[in-house]
Amino acid sequence: MEIASLKADTLYLKQELDKLKRMIFGSKSERFIGTNSPGQLLLGLDIAPLPMTEPAKETVSYERKKPVVKDRTIHSRQPLPAHLLREEVVIEPKEDTTGARKIGEEITEVLEYTPGKLYVKKYIRPKYVLREEQGIVIGELPSLVIPKGNAGASVISHITISKFVDHLPFYRQVQMFKRLDVKIAESTINDWFKSGCTLMLPLYQKMVGRVVKGPYLMADETPIPVLDRDKPGTTHQGYHWVYYSPLEKLVCFYYQKGRGREGPIKFLKDFRGTLQTDGYTAYDIFEKQEGITMLSCMAHARRYFEQALKNDPSRAEYVLAQIQKLYQVERIAREEGLTFDQRKEARMEISAPILEELEAWMKKNIIEVLPKSAIGVAIGYTLCRWERLKRYINDGRYEIDNNPIENSIRPVALGRKNYLFAGSHEAAQRAAMIYSFLGTCKINDVNPADWLTDVLNRLPDHKANRLEELLPNNWKNTQGNQHSAL
């Protein structure tokens, strides 16, 4: 018994070493091509397999100097540079000014942006004294994103998209503005961004309510380092909890300070429907909650068998080949544009027997492998979640995995490498709101810059009971292309 235990421990340590080497030096690809590829004659269709090529990769590294923190003092607002192109908009009073005498004008300058060019929109509002001393009238200034501010919707949209889509921190954008001979303090850009987020908060709250009302959600989470005022010089590990509604094409990021079950319990307190997650135990509490049906992610189960290829090639390849057949059904159903009912029918005819055979195979083989071995962990993980894993075939609306939500999380991972951390818990929540809007834009093939510029322009005067029409999945650009050249 002692020898068997030592062998098991040795095998486990070898697997851990192999996993560590792969994390540091190896490829992250989970592509699998079996020795016996599954047949392509599924759903009565003869479709050739798609070619799979390994993308070229390169490693880029760089060093940068830490910026010197200068003494910050309060300054009055600087005038916008005189060399910038001015677009004049003359706003006459609504009152009849026939015979009136012009006594002056109010000028409000707002910084605007078009791709690669800053310009100033100059609102000129003549003042008039009405006849018979009836008073002074002036054109009405349109509602601005920042009342009495000098930043327009397009420039706030630009700095937001640059940071959260192009992953350019604000301090880099300051340097880019300097190259255009426009000096803007980083604190000013931060204030502009905060003002835009404050304006969009009711729209975000409307999105949260809409997501929770959906009948089918995917859930996942991703870490974000956050500066903590209570611990100077260190960062707190916060988490973005991400929820995606595939039927409405809405993705919602929700920031919480921790990774405990309190996060999803708070967000999903009013949710009733189907919830698809990975194997994280924080979601297990919903298994017994009335009105909620749990699904698991086949991609996560598949990942364990891919990692077991070196440990037990024959068993791992068998399972991967069976899972590949399941995914082939999904691929063909997607390419053929099958309805939800047709997809369910195809799954019942083809996928159900594969799942039944795979379940029997795993129950037979679980007793023949070491529990701590990679193949033992893979089989054990999959069997523990098998009921959740196979439920997707019962409804054509459900997906086989929650990969779509993982795709929504990728921009956060890229952002972490550039702006490194959020400056506060409030900043992390603002980031969650912006990621929600921009992620939904991407899913719905909406230009995020056009959407954000248009919505920021419309929100100050938009009716609260019609906010849903501004969500990216419902949005129609009634203002035209905000980024057209002058």
β-strand 136-138 against 117-129: which pairing, if any?
antiparallel
**Residue 360 pLDDT:** 96
Show the tokens assigned to 107. 């000028």
This model's pTM is above 0.75: yes
The total of other beta-carbon atoms located within 10 Å of residue 417's CB is: 8
pLDDT of residue 46: 46
Amino acid at 273: G
Q: What is the pLDDT along the chain (486 residues), one digit of tens a residue?
A: 677 677 677 767 776 777 677 666 666 566 666 655 544 445 554 444 444 455 566 665 556 556 655 555 555 678 888 888 899 999 999 999 988 999 999 999 999 887 778 889 999 999 999 988 789 999 999 999 999 889 999 999 999 999 998 889 999 999 999 988 899 999 999 999 999 999 999 999 999 999 999 999 999 998 888 887 777 777 888 999 999 999 999 999 999 998 889 999 999 999 999 999 988 888 999 988 899 999 999 999 999 999 999 888 999 999 999 999 999 999 999 999 999 999 999 999 999 999 999 999 999 999 999 888 999 999 999 999 999 999 999 999 999 999 888 777 777 767 666 666 788 899 999 999 999 999 999 999 999 999 999 999 999 999 999 999 999 999 987 655 443 332
Q: What angle do CA 436, 440, 445 make, to 5 degrees?
A: 150
Residue that has been written with the tokens 């996560």 in this structure: 300
Q: What does the buried/exposed string (b/e) look like for 262-293 if buried means 16 or more CB atoms within 10 Å of the residue's CB? A: ebbeebbeebebbbbbbbeebbeebeeeeebb
Within its chain, how far is the Cα of 310 from the centroid? 34
- 10 contacts: CB under 8 Å, gap ≥ 6: none
Q: Residue 259 corresponds to which tokens in the numbers above?
A: 């990774």
pLDDT of residue 20: 72
pLDDT of residue 482: 41
> What does 187-222 look like in DSSP terms, one character per residue?
HHHHHHHHHHHHHHHHHHHHHHHHHHT-SEEEEEEE
At residue 420, the pLDDT reads 63
What is the DSSP-derived secondary structure letter of residue 399?
-
| Coil, helix or strand at residue 266 | helix
Q: Give the pairing of strands 41-42 and 292-296.
A: unpaired
From CA 255, how far away is CA 258, in angstroms rounded? 9
Asked whether the beta carbons of 306 and 316 are under 8 A apart, the reply is yes
Angle at which helix 186-212 crosses helix 153-164, to 10 degrees, equals 80
**Exposed, middle or buried, 383 (CB in 10 Å: 0-12/13-18/19+)?**
middle
Strand-pairing partners, residue 219, are: 243
Containing 486, the helix (H) or strand (E) segment is none
| Burial bucket for residue 388 (CB in 10 Å: 0-12, 13-18, 19+) | buried
3-state secondary structure of 419: helix
Residue 114: CB atoms within 10 Å: 16
Give the contacts of 54 (CB within 8 A, at least 6 positions apart).
Answer: 29, 31
Please report the DSSP string for 433-465 in residue order.
HHHHHHHHHHHTT--HHHHHHHHHHHGGG--GG
pLDDT for 77? 74
